[in-house]
Amino acid sequence: LDTAIESLPPSRPSAQDRQHEIILRSAKGAFFRDGYPLRYSIYDSIFPIDKTSIGRAWTLAQKQQAFHTLGFWGILLSYIYGRIIQYDKGARRLKQVLPFFERTGQSWELATGYLHLLKLMIPNKQHSLRRQEQFTKYLSRAKNIFAALGDTVNIGQIMNLWGDLSYQQQDLEGAIKNWQLALDSMLNSGEWMAATHMRWQISGVYMQIGDFEKAFDGFHAVADVFREHGLRLEEVSTLSMESFEKVRYGDIEEALQIRRTCLEMILEIGLSYQIAWNYWEMGEVLRVKGDVTAAAQWYERAYQIFDREQDNNGRAYYFRGLGDIALGEQNYEAARSHF
């Protein structure tokens, strides 16, 4: 994308050149700088993204009044701008282009506009009952359009959002049901990564409602998929979650064995950040298991990396671990000092 943007005429660009730049910069803004797609993450403030490119595309589109004529790219740009830079402006622009697509009979663009408006609005904040009912109408309308067009991928996206809305309404069973429908739709479309993301979410809700076996089975299934596709770091992250939860809600010996597997894998991968956290989490397993001497040693090994990397979050967890050890030993002064 950078190469394509750099190849555009540097001076006196035509209207078509401007349109190409808007499209290319919108596409670039849809990914974090490590290549991970924005749509699969909720942690915008943690991972770097090219805000300059998004802002440039937005400014060009405004000058040319081109949002509706850009079709999908105008929808995507409005969504990205609203999510990353200014929510109100992005949401307002999406609402403005919907009547154009309806009036001109562009049904796929209309449904896609609804999809991205909902992707922007549902996670943003708690909404009134009236607004939630409006969301349900939008979801139903978009789903029906995508179904008529045979677009199973976007049906899955809609059911994912319907699950998000159910979760926001604290209807956990409804969230599981809708996310399962999304998962099935994604699998039928060959979208294994999106389906795996759904399975992770479902497993997390099973943890919340106390169905731990289903949760552990789900995390293990996610790890299996990542292993099959050679995504070792993602496999480690998933097994790490399974181990972390099993310490408290499952078999601690299994948790310890999974953590050992995670350590072996991450040491082969060699990513220092992940090595440090696996050291810390090994300490957690051993602390809960009652071996506080070994736990402190693992915390210390983690701290050496956290300190070298100037990771204040990791440093804080190191002191938390020592505080938990002191608290368990009823050494309240030391616990207070560490905490």
Q: What is the pLDDT of residues 83-93, one digit of tens each?
A: 888 999 999 99
Phi and psi, residue 39, nearest 5° = -65, -15
pLDDT at 48: 60
Place of tokens 């967890």: 317
d(CA 152, CA 143): 9
Token digits for 285?
A: 């397993």
Confidence class of residue 272 from pLDDT cuts 50, 70 and 90?
confident
Q: What's the whole-model pTM score? A: 0.79
Q: Return the SS3 of 306.
A: helix
pLDDT at 36: 57
Q: What stretches of 189-291 show up as alpha helix (H) in DSSP?
A: 192-209, 212-228, 232-249, 252-269, 272-289
User: Of 1, 54, 17, 63, which Cα lies nearest the Cα of 9?
Assistant: 17
pLDDT digits (tens, 9 = 90+) for 183-211: 999 999 999 988 998 999 999 999 999 99
For 225-243, what is the mean pLDDT?
A: 92
Q: Give DSSP secondary structure letters for 93-151.
A: HHHHHHHHHHHTT-HHHHHHHHHHHHHHHTTTS---HHHHHHHHHHHHHHHHHHHHHT-
Token digits for 201?
A: 């979410």
In whole angstroms, what separates CA 312 from the centre of its chain?
23
The answer to whether residues 8 and 17 touch, using CB atoms and an 8 Å cutoff, is yes
Whether residue 94 has pLDDT greater than 90: yes
Estimate the crossing angle of helix 152-168 against helix 172-188, to 10 degrees: 170
Estimate the crossing angle of helix 152-168 against helix 129-149, to 10 degrees: 170
User: Of 205, 204, 203, which Cα lies nearest the Cα of 221?
Assistant: 203
- Name the DSSP letter for residue 42: S
pLDDT digits (tens, 9 = 90+) for 37-51: 665 555 444 456 778
d(CA 140, CA 134): 10
d(CA 162, CA 179): 8
Distances 261 to 51, 227, 248, 251, 255 between C-alpha atoms, Å: 38, 13, 18, 16, 10
User: Of 114, 124, 128, which Cα lies nearest the Cα of 157?
Assistant: 114
- The number of helix segments (H) and strand segments (E) in the chain equals 17, 0
pLDDT at 31: 76
Confidence class of residue 130 from pLDDT cuts 50, 70 and 90?
confident
